[in-house]
Amino acid sequence: MTKRTKAIFLGLCIIGSFFIYCVFYYSNMIKNAPYRFADFEYITIAYGKRDSMLNTYNSATQEYQYLTRSNQVVKQKLKLTDDDLLYLHRKAMEMGFWNVDDDMTTPRKDAADGRDVPRYVLEYKYKDKGKKVVLDADYSGNQKMKDATKTTIEKVLEMINIADAR
């Protein structure tokens, strides 16, 4: 063997073994990912005041209920497409929604305290797992977790509004 063929052989061995390792490692990571869109079942969101969360949406039943400015409750069917749900799934992954705390509520000393503060309940449900987060708008905990949850909620509400406008 010449010096050049030895260098090519050595390079192919190193690159080839690295490529095989990457394929093996990442294929197992993707296959065992806890939140895969292939296992996705539904998204639910509810928001409003703590004692009356009249604004709700469930993607499994397609039931959408909201309170208008004139305090009338409107109920209708609203279907999110698979592309919409995939977008929301990816946005939740991008924001790190899976790593936030489940309970992001502000402790209250009495029942009347903070009654008018909006509360959001967002749930992503998969076959084996799910993630349900409760967020108060005045939550004073970890700001990064609050921002990730708030952005995910905003994207879900934005997608619902886009689907409603269609």
Q: How far apart are CA 118 and CA 157, in angstroms?
A: 14
φ and ψ at 143, to 5 degrees? Answer: -65, -35
Name the residue type at position 56. Answer: T
Q: How far apart are CA 67 and CA 91, in angstroms?
A: 26
For 67-102, how does the pLDDT look when each residue is reduced to its tens digit (9 = 90+)? 888 888 888 888 888 888 888 888 888 887 777 777
Token duo for residue 61: 């039943």
Is the pLDDT at 141 greater than 80, yes or no? no
pLDDT greater at residue 28 or residue 56: 56
User: What is the predicted pLDDT for the residue at 29?
Assistant: 56
Counting residues of the chain whose pLDDT is more than 90, the rounded percentage is 0
For 40-50, how does the pLDDT look when each residue is reduced to its tens digit (9 = 90+)? 788 888 888 87
Q: How far apart are CA 95 and CA 89, in angstroms?
A: 10
The answer to whether 44 and 57 are in contact (CB under 8 A) is: yes
DSSP E strand boundaries for the chain: 40-49, 52-58, 63-67, 73-77, 103-104, 119-126, 130-136
Parallel/antiparallel/unpaired status of strands 130-136 and 103-104: parallel
Q: What is this structure's pTM?
A: 0.70
Q: Give which of 43, 123, 32 is closest to 80, Cα–Cα.
A: 43
For 97-135, how does the pLDDT look when each residue is reduced to its tens digit (9 = 90+)? 777 777 877 777 766 666 677 888 888 888 877 888 888
Which residue's structure tokens are 């080839």? 16
